Each structure stands twice: as C-alpha cells, then as structure tokens.
Amino acid sequence: MKEKSRIRELENKLFKGWRKDLPRFVPDGLVDQDTFENAKIKAVFLLKDTNDPPSDTWSKWDLRDVLYNKKFDQHQTMWTVIARWIYELNIEKIKWNDKDRNKPFLNNYHSLGHFHAMMHRQIAVVNCKKVGGGGQTDKTRLRSHIINYHHEIRSQLTMYGADLIITGGIPKGMLDIIFADIEKTENKSSNGLMHWHFPKLKTHLISYYHPACRIKHEVLHYTLVDAAKEVLKF
C-alpha cells in the first residue's frame, strides 16, 4: 500500500491526463484511505460507467466525496446493495429478512445514509468509463473506452493493494483487455462465478452482476458473499 495521504494525489495525477479528451469526467476511487486500509477485506468495485450526476453540478461531482458524505439521492438501491456486501464481508453475517432488508443495520447506525457512509468508506470504486452511462450502458462505447484507456484503468486498480476486486456486469472479453499483461490464474467458485487470482498483486477478482441487476436481493447478495468467502478462504 502506498504511503498514507498519497493515494488521492496519485489518483488525481492519473486523472489529469485521462480527463483531457473526456467532457463531463467524474473522478472516482478510494473513498477513505485510513478506513480502507483497516478493513478486514480491502475491496475495490470495478463498474462499467458512472451514473449521471445532476446536470447543473457535474463539473464539481466527485464520486469519492459523494460516497464519503452519503450525498447521493439517486441510484440508492445500487449503493445499498454494495453496502450490504461490505457489511457481511467485514462486519458480521446478515440474518436476511426480505420484507425489511435494512432493519438489521438500522439498529447499529443512525440512518440508512449513515450505514451507507460507514460501509462505503471501506471501499474503492473504479468506473471503466468515467462519464455518465444513464440507465443502460452502450457496450460498443464501453469496449471502445476500455481499449483506449485500459492502461489508465489498470494503473488505477493496482494502486490500491486490494484483497478483492469485484466486477459489476463487465463482459469477460473486456476484462481480458484490462488485465491482458498481468499474470493470473482462472477458476470458478462452487456456485459458478468466474474468478481470477493475480499472484504478484496478491489480489483476487470475482466477475459478477452489476449491483443494480434486477434479480432477487437475497440471491444477489449471497451468491457474491459465498463466492468471496470461498475464494478468500474465510
């Protein structure tokens, strides 16, 4: 892990050149370095593209600060899904109640927003395409962006020293482009999820659905959590 307080500087240095050709570029990355470094599992979420910020604020929009300060009021379900994953991986097992999915957390946090902030400060989020994608991602544009910026994406991912990279709905062919030059072994979890191990990076990657995927919440939650526990052996 890089020296403390240096990660944000490294991210911003990387973004300086990256954003030159991209209007409406939205920075992302490590939400809170101290909390991330002290987390049981240091997890990075590799997603397709950023959600569109409000049109009148995009130039000041920084996903790192939005997640730190729980200041998002759209796409909340997606961020709740991610927060639940982190809660189970880093805090304790969830006793699932699909009728009131957030009740277990509200006993320990002031509000759902407080729960979000405490969980999101333990992660990093890397969007392959750092411009808005709306509700549906254009796969042709996403692939083109990954081809053009795969070095930058890979540089950002490898600066965190993560234990686990969780991808969200990114096709394997595009992951192959991003990680083309990194030594890895490929396998499948017992519940069928593809995962890679990068021995030199000491990092695992699990290929998974996007957190906003419309499948039953309990299935979306435990399929990933069970695979992560198996891959990381805990």
Percent of the chain residues past pLDDT 90, beyond the cut: 65
**What is the structure's pLDDT at 57?**
60
The answer to whether residues 170 and 179 touch, using CB atoms and an 8 Å cutoff, is: no
What ranges do the domains of the chain cover? Answer: 7-232
Strands (E), 71-184: 123-132, 164-168
Residue 10's Cβ-count burial label (10 Å; 0-12, 13-18, 19+) is: middle
Interval 158-166 mean pLDDT: 97
Backbone angles phi, psi at 29, to 5 degrees: 135, -140
- What confidence category does residue 127 fall into, taking pLDDT thresholds of 50, 70 and 90? very high
Mean pLDDT check: name the lowest of 28-37, 62-71, 199-208, 222-231.
Answer: 62-71
pLDDT at 99 exceeding the cut of 90: no
Q: How far apart are CA 47 and CA 25, in angstroms?
A: 15
DSSP assignment, residue 114?
H
Mean pLDDT check: name the lowest of 51-60, 72-81, 194-203, 208-217.
Answer: 51-60
The answer to whether residues 52 and 129 touch, using CB atoms and an 8 Å cutoff, is: no
Q: Hey, CA dihedral for 180, 184, 188, 192, is it positive or negative?
A: negative
pLDDT at 182 exceeding the cut of 90: yes
Interval 138-148 mean pLDDT: 92
* Cα separation values, 114 from 34, 124, 210, Å: 18, 18, 23
pLDDT of 11-58, one tens digit each?
Answer: 999 999 999 888 789 999 999 999 999 999 999 999 998 876 555 565
- Share the mean pLDDT of the chain: 88
pLDDT of 44-94, one tens digit each?
Answer: 999 998 876 555 565 678 999 989 987 655 557 889 899 999 999 999 887
- What confidence category does residue 168 fall into, taking pLDDT thresholds of 50, 70 and 90? very high
* Cα separation values, 209 from 10, 46, 118, 158, Å: 29, 11, 23, 22
Specify the CATH number for 7-232; select among 3.40.190, 3.40.30, 1.20.1050, 3.40.470.
Answer: 3.40.470
pLDDT at 161 exceeding the cut of 80: yes
DSSP assignment, residue 4?
T
> Could you identify the residue written with the tokens 């309990």?
218
Angle at CA of residue 124, ends 120 and 126, nearest 5°: 125
- 20 token code pair: 């030159």
